[in-house]
Structure 1
Amino acid sequence: MDEEPNDEWENPSCDDNEVLRNYVMRCCVKAIKIENDVKDLQEELRELHLAHKNNLMMLTNIVKDLEKNATQKSQKVFVHVPSEIAAHEVEEIGVEHLLRDVKDTTISTLATKVSFNPYFKSFHV
């Protein structure tokens, strides 16, 4: 879609943005006209650039610190943390009643699973 330059392109008094706007309006069926203040955009871009530059410098420093730490020998130490799993009295009573209800292994497969599971041995009544 090559077009010959017309007066729009050669007119020195015509603003470059206006020429571009006219060309886009001719080429696009549904063009959207967007006008922004260039100084605001430049300020936003400058702020973004500085933020990215600061982030890059911070990441570079982190990588350098990691490289220094990687050269030093590290030792892994296992520490046992004592813990206890317990239930409230109400929960224990509820489990006891449940186990009493499903005690007959001929009726329920749940009773069979529970009776052979070592974790539930302490709950047997």
Structure 2
Amino acid sequence: MPEHAVEKVVVHPLVLLSVVDHFNRIGKVGNQKRVVGVLLGAWHKGVLDVSNCFAVPFDEDDKDLAVWFLDHDYLENMYGMFKKVNARERIVGWYHTGPKLHKNDIAVNELMKRYCSNSVLVIIDAKPRALGLPTEAYISIEEVHDDGTPTSKTFEHVPSEIGAEEAEEVGVEHLLRDIKDTTVGTLSQRITNQVQGLKGLQARLVDVRRYLESVSAGDLPINHQIVYQLQQSIWCGQGPGQWSMGMREDILHLEIALLCHHYDATKQRSVCLQDHHPPT
């Protein structure tokens, strides 16, 4: 299968309903903390359209995360039957109900690459407790370390959204008509949606603050790509002319700290090179 650059993942309502049903069924008969399945769909100009899915038998050892089992024979048989119904839907990745990444996800993703060379992992929270979408999409990449150690596989976040065709929208509205509060006016709904959006933004800013505090305390290594993205977010939000004096000082201190860190790292590399290759 050719390589596809995934810029965005669109998850259909049928996938969400199937995953929640899978999670609820397994929860009644066992004590698994998460369930796993295969995603079906197609690519179109960098957008991955996940339109269907099916469950796969999966088990893992809670004490030893290196011990896990995924029934790939069942996977191949199920995919063969799905292909007879809709040949356009191909294996595009896999899902689990998380709600966060697990240590053995890289190993499971490598197994899924047998069926899709650029497999996408979508974590679908079957019991969302926070605001925002219940989906998080990831792709596997090779991470290059600044200290020169060998590269390692890790996950990179990909934007995701919920999308539906017209027939699916009608079906979802039919399912929600008994849940939706029809007494609430349009203005109230708009205000409620804006408040929820602001709460979601606040939650993301809290995550950013926790990350920066962990880096400052030395608990996490500095990632220059993340710092660059944060700087871009600040600069895109408002121009330098709109910055307050306190904000300018904070940004100046941040840039000075990054410059000092870069200088120290360059000096250490130079010393290491001189130790390994002394002048003749």
Greater relative contact order, per chain length (Cα 8 Å cut-off, separation 6+): 2
* TM-score, normalisation: structure 1: 0.30
Question: Which of the two has higher C-alpha Rg?
Answer: 1
Question: Which structure dedicates a bigger proportion of its chain to strand?
Answer: 2
* TM-score, normalisation: structure 2: 0.14
Question: Which structure dedicates a bigger proportion of its chain to helix?
Answer: 1
